[in-house]
Structure 1
Amino acid sequence: MKGQTTETGFFRGAGIGAVAGAITAVQLLESLADGESLSKVALLVSLVNGKVFIEWVSPAVLKAYQWQMNSLDSTYREISDIYDVNGGKGLSRSCIQKLPMQEFHSIERIKSREESYCSICIQGLKDGEMARNLPRCGHIFHLKCIDEWLSRQGTCPMCREHVLDGDGEEV
């Protein structure tokens, strides 16, 4: 996936790196003051085992990723709204709730030699999970994944078959 880069993102990342480095340096100086030797091994262990580094960097990376994905998503929505790129819109929550759902059982899929993973999130369906089976094409997805998809698009993500017929009725 391609994300947007900005100067503020670059400077923010550099700032977080500088703060994490300063905290690591303070930790090293504290360990030196406690009488521990400042060897290469101690330095390496401190850097690798730095809980502070992980606590500071992980949320920042996650937040940056989510920000970029949200900005790309909103940009795509704006473009599709302006130019009507995707033609059809998503389904209402009530239409989605009327679609059949089932408890997934892998043994049934093995017998029929059908795929047993959700092509939206690319994760395997697990026994006992609730799934939604689209009535026109028969493709199966995680309930949460397909509901989110159908709220934006009224077609199957695999074959682009319309989930509802022209009258808005389930087939």
Structure 2
Amino acid sequence: MVHFELRSFLNVVNRVFMASMTCAFACGGGLVGIIMGAIKGQTTETGLVRGSCVGAITGAITALQIMDMMADGEPFSKAALLHSLLNGKVFFEWVSPAVLKAYQWQASAMEMSLSFTDIFDTDNNGSRGLSEDKINKLPIRIFENLSMMAQRDEELNECVICLQDFKNKEEGRELPSCRHIFHLKCIDDWLIRQSSCPICRRDV
């Protein structure tokens, strides 16, 4: 009976200890993440608040992953773990690189999103699309002998708007100003919003 009560007490103590350590790791990782994210956010377009949020989430998750690694593999002794926890070394060594990677990923995603938006944005450059009558007057081209054409010019192999290959007997439209060719529907939809070639930006 005494052994059972002692074992139950030790289990409770162990659970409380693990819960406390998990909470401490999550809070510590989140705090370091906030600091690192705020620093990176302040120096770039993401901003202080958004950078702090990204850093806090990434830092907390990374800290919990470190906790799981230590619980499973025990790479550090308990004394070394407590010492690293108290002086914050474990957080800065592990959490900071993870926050920077997450921040770099977010910055790359924002750059891709902005570049994609700029391609289709017609309000900022002052260029208006063409009317349907003007679009319908542009020359139509029937794709024939594509294999021979592709050998001479690799750019004739696919439409740069949808990135799909041209097919034999398929209708396309050729822009008279630059001679670039696209799928009929692709370029018509483009010209309704934008009056320039999507490749060279020359006015149609």
TM-score by structure 1 length?
0.45
Task: Give the greater-gyration-radius structure (CA).
Answer: 2
- Please state which structure has a larger fraction of its residues in helix: 2
